[in-house]
Amino acid sequence: MQRRDFLQAGLGLLAGEAAAGQAPAPQPAPAAKKLKVDAYSRHLQWLRTADEVAEAVVEMGFDGVDLTVRPYPGHVDPQKVAEDLPPFVNTIRKHGLQVITMTCPITDADSPNAEKILATASSLGLTHYWWGTFRYEQGKPVMAQLDALKPRVEKLAALNAKYKMKAMYHTYSGAGTVGAAVWDFLYVLRNFDPAHVSFHYDIGHMTNAGGNGTWALNLRAAGPYIGGISAKDSVIEKDLRVNGGGPYTAEMAAKAPAGRGPEGMGGRGGPGGPGRGGPVAAAGFPNWRVRQVPLGTGMDDLKQFGAILKEIDFNGPTEVQAEYPNGGAQNAQDKITLPREQVLGAMKRDLLALREAFAPSGLL
């Protein structure tokens, strides 16, 4: 049968069904596109070559790499991005891995090397990058500070449009961090195209910042602006600091030193700054601390997270962060103190936990 005859026969069948009062047979819905999960190269900075990084990522079963474009021990020096990023990315891709995301020190369009980083990344087919972070000045009106951010975001959005890149603002917990409430920075972002500026929604931080299910409301509210996600887990526990044996008395509790302050405070200066990976004082509760744990063993409701991501039709970069003690890998060190197989095995278990949690939603 000729193609023309086949098409005419098909049209005749539909016409016959319509004449007989029958609805055409429903067509199967296209299969939902599965998410690909990146390993965060910040946890692999003890591996220095692109081949070493790629081999570890393949061994763990991840689909790609979120590459650190940061000063040493980052994998690519921002000042040498034009020379060093292309061979690093191309080598990783030769192992069958995707590289569409990078983590780099861009807060504004005027950040050092910002345009060179974006131009080089765009030329290689990267499409997303971590962005941030803005801090509140304590004692000043909040809304006025948010309004003051709009011109800065507008300028960065224009630069992203030029290079077809999407900035993903990483969400941290902590009273001094813009975006910890999500609604505050959404007030800024809603003026701009989510194709160019968005959130990088960290479920670990947002569980801490949005207790009693508030994180889920925030995620739904920001839906069109969720550019990417990261998964890590933690618990909040009593921080009993005792020297020596014996019972813990009220007097000892009164003398116990306060924690280091809420995570995200103290001049972190963007993603991956000092202080990550260890326990920190829970915001507003100096005798409690946030302790990072392997994915799926803490407070995160990962199944609900996956269900809401499907609900908002999320299909962006996805990664796992392993910030619990793991031989120095959690703190972006260039050397590890545990066997290679133990460090990679821990991160592989995180990936398996995410796949199990997201399976009911069909995302992975």
In a domain, 26, yes or no: no
Other beta carbons within 10 Å of 316? 20
pLDDT in tens, 228-265: 999 999 999 987 665 666 666 666 666 655 443 333 32
The pLDDT of residue 175 is 87
pLDDT in tens, 79-93: 999 999 999 999 999
In a domain, 152, yes or no: yes
- Residue 208: burial class (beta carbons within 10 Å; 0-12, 13-18, 19+): buried
The pLDDT of residue 33 is 76
Number of domains in the chain: 1
pLDDT in tens, 155-204: 999 999 999 999 999 999 998 999 999 999 999 999 999 999 999 999 99
In a domain, 204, yes or no: yes
How many residues would you count in the chain? Answer: 364
ω into 133 cis (within 30 of 0)? yes
The pLDDT of residue 266 is 30
pLDDT in tens, 24-71: 555 554 555 799 999 999 999 999 999 999 999 999 999 999 999 999
In a domain, 13, yes or no: no
Residue 283: which pLDDT band, with cuts at 50, 70 and 90?
low
**Does the pLDDT of residue 279 top 70, yes or no?**
no
**Does the pLDDT of residue 148 top 50, yes or no?**
yes
Choose among 342, 321, 341, 317: nearest CA to 331.
Answer: 321
Which domain range does residue 133 map to? 31-236+294-361
Residue 363: which pLDDT band, with cuts at 50, 70 and 90?
very high
* Mean per-residue pLDDT, 336-345: 98
* Mean per-residue pLDDT, 115-140: 97
In a domain, 95, yes or no: yes
Please, which residues have CB within 8 angstroms of residue 39's CB and are 6 or more apart in sequence? 56, 57, 60, 62, 64, 65, 66, 319, 320, 347
% the chain with pLDDT above 70:
78
> What average pLDDT is seen over the chain?
87
Choose among 197, 175, 176: nearest CA to 188.
Answer: 197
User: What does the angle CA 226 – CA 319 – CA 308 come to, to the nearest 5 degrees?
Assistant: 45
**Does the pLDDT of residue 15 top 90, yes or no?**
no
The CATH number assigned to the domain holding 211 equals 3.20.20.150
| 50-76 residues labelled b (16+ CB within 10 A) or e (exposed) | beebbebbeebebbbbbbbbbeeebbb
Reading the block at residue 24, the tokens are: 């055409």
* Mean per-residue pLDDT, 5-14: 45
In a domain, 1, yes or no: no
In a domain, 208, yes or no: yes
**Does the pLDDT of residue 223 top 80, yes or no?**
yes
Q: Are 210 and 239 in contact (CB under 8 A)?
A: no
In a domain, 173, yes or no: yes
The pLDDT of residue 32 is 59
DSSP 262-296: STT-SS--STT-TTTTS-EEETTEEEEEEEEE-TT
**Does the pLDDT of residue 127 top 70, yes or no?**
yes
Measured CA distances, 241 to 236, 254, 286 (Å)? 15, 11, 12
The pLDDT of residue 14 is 43
Residues linked to residue 238 through DSSP beta bridges, in sequence order: 288
Residue 234 DSSP SS3: strand
